Structure 1
Amino acid sequence: MVKGIGTDIIEIDRIEKALNREAFLTKMFHNREIEYFKMRNMKPEFIAGRFAAKEAIVKALGTGFRGIKFKDIIVDRNSLGKPIVVLKGEAEKIASKYGDYAIHISISHGRDNAIAYAIWEVKNESFKGRINQGN
């Protein structure tokens, strides 16, 4: 069952400028992601897509980054290169509140923008607590 959908679009030049700040990568991305960026020659459009994916994921979870760190969300890849998501910390706690889950993502970019979509799918509806929805 789909629990949430999120999307994000970002201007690639914003990420390109942020890459000039030394702390940007280490604050926003897990070491595993940074190593992969280096393998991809630190292409800003690639990094922007991963950044947009993290934003889309927290929108799908319905929380934004309240209590979730950027590094709690790892955008990795499977053996075929398909982007996959690994959640840690608070992000994983939120996603697993309803039992087994999957986060599906799609990432794309053009000359000026990168975009990502995320779907939070719950495999079984065994609620394990209450998520504060602001109600």
Structure 2
Amino acid sequence: MYPGIDIIEIERVAQAFKRQPRLIERLFTIREQEALIGKGIQSYAARFAGKEAVLKTLGTGLQGLSWHDIEILSNVKGEPQVFLSLKAMDQVSARGGSEVRVSLSHNRTQAMAFAILS
């Protein structure tokens, strides 16, 4: 098992989106963008922290991957689910794993995520 954790200041995410309006498209898939419509900046920050935490479980950072290779969507119960591209799944397999799970949380000022590759 390989853990990954990330914490980020929500205001930092908000400022980055203001400075770079296309950043949302670079970081999030179409399905993620659609799921986040009407949600607050906290939800975007938590999803970004989730992607960072998943990358940490892989041990490679973004090397050979893009942000769209990691997709985090909620299931019908509202639980975040990680969907990985074939390239990302190859890295999971290379570490002897078969899946990555993630937990997301936030308060007014910070968002955090914990991921585990198993």
Match of residue 109 from structure 2: 112
Give the alignment's Cα RMSD to 1 decimal: 1.4
1:73 aligns with 2:70: yes
2:33 aligned with 1:34: yes
Q: Which runs of 5+ in 2 are unaligned?
A: none
Secondary structure of the structure 1 residue equivalent to 2:3: strand
Aligned-pair identity (%): 37
**Pairs aligned (count):** 117
TM-score between both structures, scaled by the size of structure 2 = 0.92
Say yes or no: does 1:52 pair with 2:49.
yes
**How big is each residue's C-alpha offset from its partner over 1:3-30, in whole Å with a ceiling of 9 and x where there is no partner?**
x100000000011112222211110100
1:68–1:89 contact (8 Å) kept in structure 2: no
Specify the code of the residue in structure 2 equivalent to 1:34. Q
2:7–2:111 contact (8 Å) kept in structure 1:
yes
TM-score, normalised with respect to structure 1:
0.81
Please list every run of at least 4 consecutive aligned residues from structure 1 whose deviation after the TM superposition is greater than 6 angstroms. Answer: none
1:86 aligned onto 2:76: no
3-state secondary structure, aligned to 2:22: helix
Q: Distance in 1 between matches of 2:29 and 2:55?
A: 16
Q: Higher RCO, 1 or 2 (CA under 8 Å, sep at least 6)?
A: 2
Distance 1:99 1:118 in 2: 16
> Post-superposition shift, 1:98?
5.5
Tell me the residue number matched to 2:10. 12
Which stretches in structure 1 are left out of the alignment for 5+ residues? 122-135
Letter in 1 for 2:25: T
